[in-house]
């Protein structure tokens, strides 16, 4: 289990949503096009948990945060529909795999209420994940 493999598994699943929209990936230069929907992706990692008496099993847990950005003033319906598509893509239970690493999705993603953020209507979606070594 590596953080890179966990991130690759989660991002691959997100990339499978159609139609695709522009994405601001972590630590990659990105400039949104005015009036065009886009999403920002962030991988958050919690403290690992060591299991078993011999501490030979480690559970890595965290969140994948996807914040959708839609033009402000155009209503919430389109952003909400995309948020639901993202949540549906990560419906539990499922196991994602990358490079021999399994990433489990065991809870329904959380869609937060939209907020005005600069010139955008932003809708956050949070996906909880875990992986074992």
Phi, psi of 110 (to 5 degrees): -100, 125
Global pTM reads: 0.90
The residue-averaged pLDDT of 40-50 equals 89
Question: Left, alpha or beta for 5 (phi > 0: left; psi -120 to 50: alpha)?
Answer: alpha
Asked whether the predicted pLDDT for residue 30 surpasses 70, the reply is yes
3-state secondary structure of 26: coil
What is residue 119's three-state secondary structure? coil
Write the DSSP symbol of residue 114. P
């Amino acid at each position: 289990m590596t953080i890179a493999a966990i991130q690759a598994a989660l991002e691959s699943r997100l990339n499978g949503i159609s139609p695709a929209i522009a994405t601001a990936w972590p630590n990659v230069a990105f400039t949104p096009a005015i009036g065009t929907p886009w999403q920002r992706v962030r991988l958050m990692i919690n403290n690992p948990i060591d299991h078993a008496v011999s501490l030979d099993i480690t559970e890595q847990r965290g969140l994948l945060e996807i914040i959708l950005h839609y033009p402000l003033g155009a209503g919430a319906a389109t952003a909400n529909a995309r948020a639901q598509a993202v949540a549906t893509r990560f419906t539990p239970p499922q196991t994602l795999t990358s490079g021999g690493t399994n990433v489990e999705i065991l809870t329904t993603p959380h869609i937060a209420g939209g907020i005005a953020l600069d010139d955008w209507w932003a809708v956050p979606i949070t996906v909880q994940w875990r992986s074992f070594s």
